[in-house]
Structure 1
Amino acid sequence: MIYIVTALKPEAQAFVDKYKLKKSKLQNYTLFTNTDIRLIISGIGVDNARLATQTLIDNFDITKEDIYLNVGICAAPQQHKIGDLLKIGAVMYHNSLYTFSADKHTLTCKDEAAAIQHDTPVDMESFGFYEAVVHNPAIEKFHILKVVSDHFAPHTITKENTKSLLFNVIHDINRVLQRHI
């Protein structure tokens, strides 16, 4: 099973459309599913991502084949083009670095939207997802994948653009997953 955590419905919508996921509820969360995918919408922020990810972990049996995936948009420095898919290998949160894979990008997780230039890409959920999956020894495979949505200009992000950005990289996300299935 592939478990996907997104913060926003527009981030989820590309997966819902592509994989014909059906809408349901899991506790207070919106859940979209088919026979291979369970996608939960966490809401914005570290705590929301942690709680939504933990809800998936608590409500479904984990197997060694399962893959947990945090997918969404992020702000990034100018060297990254809008629409670039970034495979994250480390998360910086409150000045602590958490490295979990050989993927080359470090993502800074902030508690508010990043409107000031940073040296790394920035999101608001990755650490919460990371914290939930890393503390569960049954989870062997997880990834954080982010799509560059802006260059520290959060006011430019729209629902339509967010869905489009994710839909444009959905085949690349699939390739990442296929290597681990």
Structure 2
Amino acid sequence: MIYIILALKSEAQAFVDKFQLGKDKQNDIVSIVISGIGSKKMFEAASEIVKKMNQTDTIVNVGICGASKKYKIGQLLDAKDIKLTCVEHEVNYDKYDVVDMESKGFIKATKDVKNSFIFKIVSDYFEPQKVTKDMAKKLIFENIDEIMEKIS
């Protein structure tokens, strides 16, 4: 099973649409989980998943992020290749390279899991107020094929 955990319903909806999932948000291949915003909520949701995973399962955190202008809007970032800073609140200034609000909790919950990944999609240049639900869904949807390829 591939457990995909996202903070926002709009982010998760991209996967639900792509895989034509029902209300339970899962099929034989993927299970979609919405954690809510923030490191603590991500930690709690990811910890629950880790408890029921077996060794062949994979857990993936996918979400949007703010980034410096060296990245393109819509660009898929693999957390192992970038400097990702986890913050507790939205950032409205260009102080960091890439920021999100959930990765710290995910990393803490999955520290002993071999098959864990973090992928972020650049949604804004530290202007979170410009990101709409439809935009978040679209950005995630456009990167699903590449994400699935990278984890398989």
Which TM-score band applies after superposition, normalised by the shorter structure? over 0.9
Q: Is the 8 A contact 1:88 1:144 kept in 2?
A: yes
Alignment correspondent of 2:128: 154
Structure 2 gap ranges (5+)? none
Q: Which aligned segments of 4 or more residues in structure 1 are displaced greater than 3 angstroms? A: none
Q: How many residues are aligned here?
A: 152
Q: Is the 8 A contact 1:47 1:128 kept in 2?
A: yes
The one-letter amino acid paired with 2:71 is H
Alignment correspondent of 1:97: none
Question: So what's the TM-score if we normalise by structure 1?
Answer: 0.81
Identity among equivalent positions (%) equals 40
Alignment correspondent of 1:5: 5
Report the Cα offset of residue 125 of structure 1: 0.3
Cα RMSD, aligned residues only: 1.0
Equivalent runs, 1:1-181 vs 2, <5 Å: 1-24=1-24, 32-58=25-51, 60=52, 62-89=53-80, 104-134=81-111, 137=112, 139-178=113-152
The one-letter amino acid paired with 1:155 is Q
Name the larger-Rg structure: 1
The one-letter amino acid paired with 2:118 is I
Question: So what's the TM-score if we normalise by structure 2?
Answer: 0.96
Q: Which structure dedicates a bigger proportion of its chain to helix?
A: 2
The one-letter amino acid paired with 2:30 is I
